[in-house]
Amino acid sequence: MPVPGQAWRLARRSVNLAGAPCIMGVLNITPDSFSDGGSFLEIDRAVDRAVQMEGEGADIIDIGGESSRPFAEPLPEADELSRVIPVIEQLVHRLSVPISIDTYKSGVARAALASGAEIVNDISAMTFDPGMASVVAKYEAGVVLMHTRGRPTEMQTDTAYNDIVAELLSYFTDALGRAEMAGISRDRVVLDPGIGFGKDIHGNLEILRRLREFAVLDLPLLAGTSRKRFIGTVLDRGVQERLFGTAATVAAAVLNGAAVVRVHDVSQMRDVAVMAQAIRDGYTPPHNA
């Protein structure tokens, strides 16, 4: 469960994770992301969407220039930079909420942080690029450390686990050790169990059921379930028909202790997350109510 008084320290501010769940809005500047690929490739459309998500209640905007969907091919760093940096450079003057860069490349992270991003969301927990940890430490950025098994081209070829939570706990213990050695303090770290990354449908559902067990690490958890394939499999729904299935997974994640939820449908999932948090923790009226 979120720790009372807990704050996530970023490059230039802190985000309070003790109250309502933090909503991370997804902005994919890619032609091939599984859900919204091609929708925001133009700079103006991407900027407008980020501003719209802030207006809908996003607490963080997570910008990615390379698809990490299963079997996606890697993108050259120069191409990724050309997609994300112009958008970040505009948004730092338009947004009041922090920007996250969704990348596993240290060069992209460095440029994004220098341009005004405050969080690195790394699907590899800083393992794909050995230079990532030093970049995060240098800029004193917040960081999301996610669990996966291999790169997107291979991660779905091995999805069997003897005990999925035990394996993830071991993985995160190692990741936290690397972060500490690089000089990244624990109050800058959020953990993501990587739903949909190197897991089959049963593993994804088991993680949601057992999310409370990650509380032994005493760090905030991020849940990224939005529109993912396992929802479509359970419901027999296409990508654009998974709103209610996503809502169920967001509610389950928050009820089981997630402090951050990463979503495409910001306004709808904010309602879901806030309601689930009220069920979990009780309702406190606003001070001006």
Task: Give per-residue pLDDT as tens, 177-215.
Answer: 999 999 999 999 999 999 999 999 999 999 999 999 999
CB 158: neighbour CB atoms within 10 A? 10
Task: Say which residues have a Cβ less than 8 Å from residue 28's Cβ, sequence separation at least 6.
Answer: 35, 36, 37, 39, 40, 64, 67
Question: Which residue among 69, 227, 262, 270 is the active-site one?
Answer: 262
DSSP letters, 52-98, are HHHHHT-SEEEEESS--STTPPP--HHHHHHHHHHHHHHHTTT-SS-
Query: 262 catalytic, yes or no?
Result: yes
**CA–CA distance, 75 with 65 (Å, rounded to integer):** 9
**CA–CA distance, 98 with 56 (Å, rounded to integer):** 15
Half-sphere exposure (Cβ direction) of 9: Cα atoms closer than 13 Å: 9
Low-confidence ranges of the chain (pLDDT < 50): 4-5, 32-34, 37
**CA–CA distance, 194 with 223 (Å, rounded to integer):** 8
Question: Which residue among 49, 110, 228, 242 is the active-site one?
Answer: 228
Domain boundaries, the chain: 7-281
Tell me the pTM: 0.93
Q: What is the pLDDT of residue 30?
A: 83
Pick the CATH number of 7-281 from 3.20.20.20, 3.30.460.80, 3.40.50.720, 3.40.120.10: 3.20.20.20
Q: What is the pLDDT of residue 276?
A: 97
273 and 255 in contact (C-beta within 8 Å)?
no
Element containing residue 183 per DSSP (H, E): none
**CA–CA distance, 130 with 242 (Å, rounded to integer):** 36
Q: What is the pLDDT of residue 1?
A: 58
- Render pLDDT for 111-157 as a digit per residue (tens, 0 to 9): 999 999 999 999 999 999 999 999 999 999 999 999 998 777 676 77
Query: 188 catalytic, yes or no?
Result: no
